[in-house]
Amino acid sequence: MSSRRSRSRQQSGVSRISDDQIADLVSKLQQLIPEIRNRRSDKVSASKVLQETCNYIRNLHREVDDLSDRLAELLANTDSDSAQAAIIRSLL
């Protein structure tokens, strides 16, 4: 690490994460992301892991939005006093 970065940390009083901690977190992300986890090779760059993580989170957001829309449609087509409507409302 450069002395400039070291001085900067000491002066700002900000606690930084170590390179080992970053590597550990990237490894944990790698295990969570299906696109990477299912690959044959264990060697994946940290940037690729972060890129795939962002893509995965975007896809999850889209799925949540789609499911919310579908639930809203179901609720609109269901008797509002029914038990089924109560379940759908609890999911929204």
Residue type, 40: R
DSSP for the chain, please give it: --HHHHHHHHHHT-----HHHHHHHHHHHHHH-HHHHT-S-S---HHHHHHHHHHHHHHHHHHHHHHHHHHHHHHHTS-TTSHHHHHHHHH-
pLDDT at 6 over 60: no
User: pTM for this structure?
Assistant: 0.66
Q: What is the pLDDT of residue 4?
A: 55
Please state the rounded mean pLDDT for residues 23-28: 94
Work out the number of other CB atoms within 10 angstroms of the CB of residue 88. Answer: 19
pLDDT at 68 over 80: yes
Q: What is the pLDDT of residue 82?
A: 87
- Residue 64 · residue 92 · CB < 8 Å: no
Q: What is the pLDDT of residues 27-54, one digit of tens each?
A: 999 999 988 888 776 688 999 999 999 9
pLDDT at 26 over 80: yes
The two tokens of residue 25 are 């977190």
